[in-house]
Amino acid sequence: MIEVTNLVKRYRDLVAVDGISFSVAKGEVLGFLGPNGAGKTTTMRILTGASPATSGKAMVAGFDVFEQPLEVKRRVGYLPEQPPLYDDLDTLSYLRFVSRIKGLRGERQKSEIERVIAACNLESVRKRRLGELSKGFRQRVGLAQALLGEPEVLILDEPTIGLDPNQIVEVRSLIQKLAEKHTVILSTHYLPEVIQLCKRVVIVHRGRIAANDTLENLTAGGRSLEQTFYDLTQR
Amino acid sequence: MRNIFAIVRKELLQYFTTSVAYWVFAVFSLVTSFFFIRILTFFQRSIMINSQMRPQMLQYMNFTDQVLAPLFYNAAVILIFVAPFLTMRLIAEERRARTFDLLLTNPVTPFQIALGKYLASLVVLLVMVLLTLVYPLLVSVYAEVGAVAWSTVLTGVLGIFLLGASFTAIGMFVSSLTQSQVVAAFLTFLVLLLLWVVGWAGADNAGLAREILTGLSAIEHIRGFAKGVIDLKDLAYYASLIGLGLFFTHRSIETLRWR
């Protein structure tokens, strides 16, 4: 479903992504780990078409991200690190706007909005201005936005950051449910989340792949995922 | 097409929920009404003086040319101050709040983003410009039939609208260059100011330099419209400013992806 080959992203004097390759199978939830500044967000931004790569190739849902960006964007739901919310709009008008630019019309638009409102527990804030919402609600509106139109691929950049423990449990079980229908790339710093949700893990460090393996292998021999992560990203 | 319309709707919603639109309407009406009253009082005084001293001059006086034309000219100058507030938010705020990524990662093209935002600002501008119709309407209620030459009024309004449309096109481009609304407004104001004073520099010169400098001045091109004349030269001037503004905004949005 996702095929990344030798991806490089260079800024003026900084190599953010330095030849990353990995692939994600349909229906898989991939844990995308790495220390801050390792190139996770950059990689995800490239996959969503928000930013072009310097070189390399990326295929999402059978389309080349650089050749057919619109086709890819139709099939990807993206929750950036900071949820992209318009503070002046209320939840409902925000979701309406996003569903319109995703090309959802009429009855389908209505039913999709109701579906994501229910899925993300936003019933109580339908008419509230986004600027007034707490961090947890903002995060969930961001997630709701990514789910609109049931995209084949979901790219979630730290979806549980800033949530309280109850909300974390809710969002995790939501992602678990999504995993049945969607292919997910999940970036997070909470390793228990990875253990609960992902079968396979990619660890990036300084723009390169430090590990690309199943969770079982990474925690083989009684090692904790924390220990593996620490060992791989300390060099 | 539907994408453009979706963006227009969202931008308009923001214009009104942030009350930017209301403020712009209020300030513009307040200042134009001030000018209207001043110019009208002056006109009345001239009538009084002329009827006592030079009655033969009265036949040359008319409301449209001596009140409305200067009013439109003043409204054009006011636009220099109002337009930056209309456009400062358009792209700068999307960049600051990181909502620009939302647009970039959805199936919308940079052209649709630019055009949608521009059309929304034109809607607000149009309402604002139409507010100036209140003055000739008021006068036509109280004055005798024929006091207001409506064809001149309409070309005047068209002229102000085209001028404002050029200003918002420039403002939108400037807004794409920064993440700060304040910087966007200030830079736009500087550019628009320059487009005004370049006409003064023209007046100080002669020959070709004068032609070029006054030709560049955005405000000079309103004079024809205010007198009821639609000149192809003026239309071409505003059309090229609008075209350039949109083109550069489109380019600028494209390059934003690379940062």
Q: Binning pLDDT at 50, 70 and 90, where does residue B130 land?
A: very high
A57 forms bridges with which residues in the sheet? A5
CA distance readout (Å), A185 to A120, A133, A203: 19, 26, 12
Average pLDDT over all residues of chain B: 91
Confidence of residue B201 (pLDDT cuts 50, 70, 90): confident
The strand order across the sheet containing A183-187 reads A76-79, A153-157, A183-187, A29-33, A200-205, A208-214
B257: pLDDT strictly greater than 80: no
The runs of H, that is alpha helices, within chain B are: 2-17, 20-53, 63, 69-87, 89-96, 100-104, 110-130, 134-142, 150-175, 181-204, 207-216, 222-226, 232-256
pLDDT of residue A43 exceeding 90: yes
pLDDT > 70? residue B57 = yes
Residue to test with chain B: of A43, A44, A81, A86, most B Cβ within 10 A: A86
pLDDT at B149 over 90: no
Residue holding tokens 């030849």? A19
- Give the nearest chain B residue to A99 (CA atoms): B6
- Predicted local distance difference test score (pLDDT) of residue B139: 85
Residue A232: name the closest of A198, A200, A209 by CA: A209
Higher per-residue pLDDT: A96 or A199: A96
State how far the alpha carbon of A92 is from the alpha carbons of A69, A86, A98, A112, A118, in Å: 28, 12, 10, 12, 12
C-alpha B166/C-alpha B189 separation (Å) is 13
Give me the pLDDT at residue B209, please: 84
Tell me the C-alpha distance between B157 and A34, whole Å.
60
The pLDDT, as a whole number, for residue A235 is 64
CA distance B252 to chain A (A): 14
For residue B223, pLDDT beyond 90: no
Q: Which pairs from A198-201 meet CB under 8 Å and 24+ separation?
A: A198/A29, A198/A30, A198/A31, A199/A28, A199/A29, A200/A24, A200/A28, A200/A30, A200/A31, A201/A30, A201/A31, A201/A32, A201/A33, A201/A225
Domain-located, residue A140: no
Radius of gyration of chain B (CA): 20
- Specify the pLDDT at position B218: 85
Amino acid at B178: T
Domain region containing A156 = 2-84+151-232
* Torsions phi, psi for A202 (to 5 deg): -115, 125
A47-61, B53-67, B184-198: least confidently modelled range: B53-67
* pLDDT recorded at residue A71: 92
Q: Work out the average pLDDT over B86-97.
A: 94
Given B9, B18, B101, which is nearest A80 (Cβ)? B101
Task: Please state, in angstroms and rounded to a whole number, the distance separating the CA atoms of residues B83 and B165.
Answer: 9
Most trustworthy range by pLDDT among A37-41, B145-149, B235-239: B235-239
Distance CA A165, CA B50 (A): 84
> Is residue A25 a part of any domain in this protein?
yes
Does A217 score more than 90 pLDDT? no
B16 touches chain A (CB under 8 A): no
CA A126/CA A128 separation, integer angstroms? 6
Q: What is the pLDDT of residue B59?
A: 76
Instruction: Give percent of chain A above pLDDT 90.
Output: 52
Token pair for B52: 């006592």
Tell me the per-residue pLDDT of A96-141, one tens digit each, with 9 for 90 and over: 999 999 999 999 999 999 999 998 889 999 999 999 998 889 999 9
User: Which residue has better confidence, B240 or B223?
Assistant: B240
Least Cα separation, residue A143 to chain B (angstroms): 12
| B3, B97, B104 member nearest A50 (Cβ) | B104
Range B229-252 average pLDDT? 94
Whether chain A has a CB inside 8 Å of the CB on B253: the answer is no
Joined tokens for residue A123: 């019933």
Q: Is any Cβ of chain A less than 8 angstroms from the Cβ of B50?
A: no
Hey, what are B56's tokens?
Answer: 């033969």
Q: What is the CATH number of the domain that holds A64?
A: 3.40.50.300
* Amino acid B148: pLDDT: 81
How many Å lie between the alpha carbon of B22 and the closest alpha carbon of chain A?
15
Q: Is A96 among the domain residues?
A: no
Strand A29-33 to strand A153-157: parallel, antiparallel, or no bridges (unpaired)?
Answer: unpaired
- A2-11 and A55-60 strand pairing: antiparallel
Residue A15 lies in a domain: yes
- For residue B145, is pLDDT > 90? no
Residue A18 included in any domain: yes
Distances (CA, A) of B238 to B51, B229, B233, B241: 41, 15, 9, 5
Predicted pLDDT of residue A224: 83
CB A48 within 8 A of CB B257: no
Could you give the residue ranges of the DSSP H alpha helices within chain A? 40-48, 69-75, 91-101, 106-119, 135-147, 165-178, 191-197, 215-218, 225-232
Sheet hosting strand A63-64, strand order edge to edge: A14-24, A2-11, A55-60, A63-64
- C-alpha span between B140 and B148 (Å, rounded): 6
Chain B nearest-CA residue for A52: B258
Residues of B in contact with A145 (CB under 8 A): 102
Classify burial at A73, counting beta carbons within 10 Å of its beta carbon; exposed 0-12, middle 13-18, buried 19 or more: buried
Averaged pLDDT, A199-204: 90
Instruction: Classify residue A123: in a domain, yes or no.
Output: no
Range picked from A180-184, B109-113, B135-139, B254-258 for highest mean pLDDT: B109-113
pLDDT surpassing 90 at residue B208: no
Using a CB-CB distance cutoff of 8 angstroms, which residues of chain B are in contact with residue A76?
105
* Alpha-carbon gap: A85 to the closest alpha carbon of chain B (Å): 6
What pLDDT does residue A192 have?
Answer: 85
The Cα–Cα gap between B36 and B34 comes to 5
Residue B199 — very low, low, confident or very high, per pLDDT cuts 50/70/90? confident
pLDDT reported for residue A234: 80
Q: In the structure, what pLDDT confidence band is assigned to residue A232 with cuts at 50, 70 and 90? A: confident
Listed in sequence order, the residues at least 6 apart from A230 whose beta carbon sits closer than 8 Å to its beta carbon are none
Q: Is the pLDDT of residue A229 over 70?
A: yes
- State how many domains chain A has: 1
The amino acid occupying position A134 is S
Residue B146 pLDDT exceeds 80: no
What percentage of residues in chain A have a pLDDT greater than 70? 100
CA distance A130 to A124: 12
Q: Would you tell me how many other CB atoms lie within 10 Å of the CB of residue A191?
A: 16
Query: Does residue B19 sit at the A interface (CB-CB below 8 Å)?
Result: no
Q: pLDDT for A17-36, tens place per residue?
A: 999 999 999 989 999 998 88
Highest mean pLDDT range out of A191-195, B10-14, B62-66? B10-14
Comparing B63 with B11, the larger pLDDT belongs to B11
Is the pLDDT at B174 greater than 80? The verdict is yes
Mean pLDDT of chain A: 90
> Alpha-carbon distance A50 to B258, whole Å?
9
Q: Which residues of A touch B107 (CB under 8 A)?
A: 70, 73-74, 101-103
- The answer to whether B1 contacts chain A (CB < 8 Å) is no
For residues B237 and B216, is the Cβ–Cβ distance under 8 A? no
Question: Residues in chain A whose beta carbon is closer than 8 A to a beta carbon of chain B?
Answer: 45, 48-52, 70, 73-74, 76, 78, 80, 82, 84-89, 93, 97-98, 100-103, 105, 129, 145
Res A99: pLDDT? 96
Longest CA–CA separation in chain B, Å: 72
Please give the distance of CA A73 from its chain centroid, rounded to a whole number. Answer: 13
Amino acid present at B70 = P
